[in-house]
């Protein structure tokens, strides 16, 4: 009975996160189309992308997957023993965040010019100056961003996933409002204010919700010994992951620097392309990974492995076909989404190149992301660090060595290299190679067959008509593939019956 209740709760969390992600992505599509129409891949959006990266790189050291991967299992373990111990952990980190926030905000404000120059050495002076102004506006929102993220993690640890589900939507609303205001009033800095104000709104919303649900109760006992003991346990969990945010954000910074050296249009094209490829990761793997993080930490290793094997098939059945479709139809997808207003032919070509490269390995990132969270739940954070280090170093090396030869395509392929190494490492660590091959070998031969069929389709001068044809062929082809394999058929039927 207890197992069924847990399973039902896990499924509810997954669909709550999935619903939030779907809605936020619908807003995100509108946001990206609007941004492309207003600003294309020109100076304003280039400056904004660099300023946003300049803001997120340092604060993501604290709010990245490393923190929630350590905080959520540790908080839940303490909660099973004593609410006081769990709350001591939260409030100790909350106070620590206060000191760090002051340092980050002042540092971003004072060193804005130097930081932008380091992030994007290829920017023209006028664009660099605009990026500096935008960075200082976004620095105002750092406090709200950090504290709202910590409150969101607290909610996750208490099985409240609503704040996490709605955060992307609120951010998108703020950015849409900022884009409209910036274009209408001719003030590019309002783009940055859209980012900042969205997190001000989110912070006060999640603060009220956390207080109302009783998550913010102070511990009854604040003895130093208790604080020290709780933080020591958290430190042991977090320590192997501390290098990860540095590597992750350093990799993003390298990507931006390489993009600025290839050309100004590439800086914003990276985000237009990633919006499409990362939507696949967001919609498929993130709901499963974050909902499972707390639950998997309570399972035995054998039980968790059994659960992972069970979900591996439906994840692959979704990720591989979508990756194949994006790889083979990237140009048409980009043109349909963005090609209007200031988003010209060159913008389409550059964005499509990046998307083709990223789509090759996006399926591997989808599976690898879930498996990384499973390793976090097992507290095998040393293994996570090794796998992530290897994946990120390979991505950075690929970008730095080949950008002069492959141009914009390099940045997409670099992401695929990262995803493939991530998958190999996590499968090896969890001992899932046999299960992966049993479920995946047919799909990859099917992807080759899809490529041959897709390549032979007649192309139309009408873009909308062409996309309808390739989409219908895509759906029919993969439906028949799933129907032809009994294991796939049973897996999908089981999934729909449960849902």
How do residues 269-322 score in pLDDT, each as one tens digit? 888 888 888 888 777 776 666 555 556 666 677 777 777 777 788 888 888 899
Please enumerate in sequence order all residues whose Cβ is within 8 A of that of 270, keeping only pairs 6 or more positions apart, or say none: 49, 255, 256, 259, 354, 411
User: What is the phi-psi region of residue 221: left when phi exceeds 0, alpha when psi lies from -120 to 50, beta otherwise?
Assistant: beta
Same-domain status, 303 and 447: yes
Q: Which pLDDT does position 2 carry in this prediction? A: 45
Residues 161, 282, single domain; the answer is no
Domain assignment present for residue 258? The answer is no
Number of domains observed in the structure of the chain: 2
A 10 A CB-CB count for 472 gives 10
One domain for residues 216 and 304: no
Domain boundary among 241, 256, 275: 241
357: CB partners within 8 A, 6+ apart = 409, 410, 411, 412, 413, 414, 415, 416
CA 117 to mean position of chain CA atoms: 26
* Total-model pTM: 0.69
Q: What is the pLDDT of residues 329-386, one digit of tens each?
A: 899 899 988 888 888 888 889 999 999 999 999 999 988 888 888 887 777 777 888 8
Tokens at 464, concatenated: 């909308």
Whether 6 is in a domain gets the answer no
Query: Residue 171 has which token pair?
Result: 């951010």
Indicate whether 231 and 306 sit together in one domain: no
Does 250 fall in a domain?
A: no
Count of other CB atoms within 10 angstroms of residue 103:
10
Verify that 330 and 212 share a domain, yes or no: no
Indicate whether 195 and 276 sit together in one domain: no
Claim to verify: residue 355 and residue 442 sit in the same structural domain = yes
CB 162 within 8 A of CB 287: no
Specify whether 199 is located in the same domain as 59.
yes
What Å distances lie between residue 262 and 43, 121, 274, 348, 410, CA to CA?
15, 11, 17, 16, 10
Same domain, 175 and 47: yes
The answer as to whether 280 is a domain residue is yes
pLDDT digits (tens, 9 = 90+) for 163-222: 887 888 888 899 899 999 999 999 999 999 999 999 999 999 999 999 998 888 888 766
Domain check: are 62 and 125 in the same one? yes
Domain boundary, last residue among 201, 225, 241? 241
Q: From 226, 241, 256, give the residue that closes a domain.
A: 241
- 207 and 284 part of one domain: no
For residue 305, CA distances in Å to 4, 301, 311, 312 come to 18, 6, 10, 10
Whether 28 maps to a domain, the answer reads no
Domain assignment of residue 67, given as a range: 42-241
For residue 230, being part of any structural domain is answered with yes
Is 11 a member of any domain?
no
Task: Answer yes or no: is 132 within a domain.
Answer: yes
129 with 269, same domain? no
């Amino acid at each position: 009975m207890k197992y069924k209740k847990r399973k039902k709760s896990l499924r509810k969390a997954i669909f709550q996160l999935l619903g939030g992600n779907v809605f936020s992505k619908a807003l995100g599509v509108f946001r990206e189309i609007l941004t492309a129409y207003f600003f294309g891949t020109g100076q304003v959006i280039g400056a904004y992308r660099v300023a946003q990266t300049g803001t997120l790189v340092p604060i993501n050291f604290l709010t990245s997957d490393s923190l929630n991967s350590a905080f959520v299992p540790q908080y839940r373990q303490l909660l099973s023993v004593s609410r006081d111990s769990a709350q001591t952990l939260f409030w100790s980190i909350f106070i620590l965040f206060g000191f760090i926030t002051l340092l980050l905000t002042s540092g971003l404000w004072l060193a804005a010019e130097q930081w932008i120059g380091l992030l994007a050495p290829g920017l023209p002076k006028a664009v660099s100056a605009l990026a500096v102004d935008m960075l200082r506006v976004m620095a105002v929102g750092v406090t709200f961003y950090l504290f709202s993220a910590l409150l969101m993690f607290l909610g996750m640890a208490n099985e409240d996933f609503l704040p996490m589900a709605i955060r992307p939507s609120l951010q998108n609303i703020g950015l849409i409002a900022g884009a409209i205001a910036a274009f209408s009033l001719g003030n590019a800095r309002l783009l940055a204010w859209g980012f900042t104000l969205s997190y001000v709104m989110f912070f006060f919303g999640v603060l009220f919700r956390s207080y109302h649900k009783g998550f913010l109760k102070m511990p009854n006992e604040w003895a130093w010994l208790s604080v020290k003991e709780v933080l020591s346990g958290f430190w042991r969990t977090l320590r192997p992951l501390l290098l990860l945010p540095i590597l992750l954000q350093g990799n993003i910074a390298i990507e931006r620097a390489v993009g600025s050296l290839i050309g100004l249009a590439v800086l914003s094209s990276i985000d237009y392309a990633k919006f499409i490829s990362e939507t696949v990761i967001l919609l498929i793997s993130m709901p499963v990974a974050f909902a499972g993080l707390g639950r998997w930490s309570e399972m035995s290793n054998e039980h968790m492995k059994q659960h992972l094997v069970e979900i591996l098939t439906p994840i692959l059945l979704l990720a591989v076909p979508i990756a194949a479709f994006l790889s083979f139809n990237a140009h048409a997808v980009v043109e349909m989404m963005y090609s209007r207003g200031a988003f010209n032919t060159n913008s389409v070509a550059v964005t499509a190149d990046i998307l083709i490269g990223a789509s090759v390995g996006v399926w591997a990132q989808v599976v690898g992301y879930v498996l990384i969270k499973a390793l976090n739940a097992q507290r095998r954070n040393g293994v996570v660090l090794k796998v992530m280090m290897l994946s990120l170093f390979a991505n950075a090396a690929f970008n730095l060595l080949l950008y002069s030869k492959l141009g914009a395509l390099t940045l997409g392929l670099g992401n695929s290299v990262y995803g493939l190494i991530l998958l190999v490492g996590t499968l090896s660590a969890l001992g899932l190679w046999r299960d992966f091959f049993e479920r995946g070998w047919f799909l990859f031969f099917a992807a080759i067959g899809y490529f041959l069929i897709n390549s032979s389709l007649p192309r139309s001068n009408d873009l909308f008509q062409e996309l309808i044809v390739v989409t219908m062929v895509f759906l029919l082809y993969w439906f028949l593939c799933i129907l032809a394999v009994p294991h796939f058929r049973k897996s999908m039927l089981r999934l729909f019956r449960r849902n």
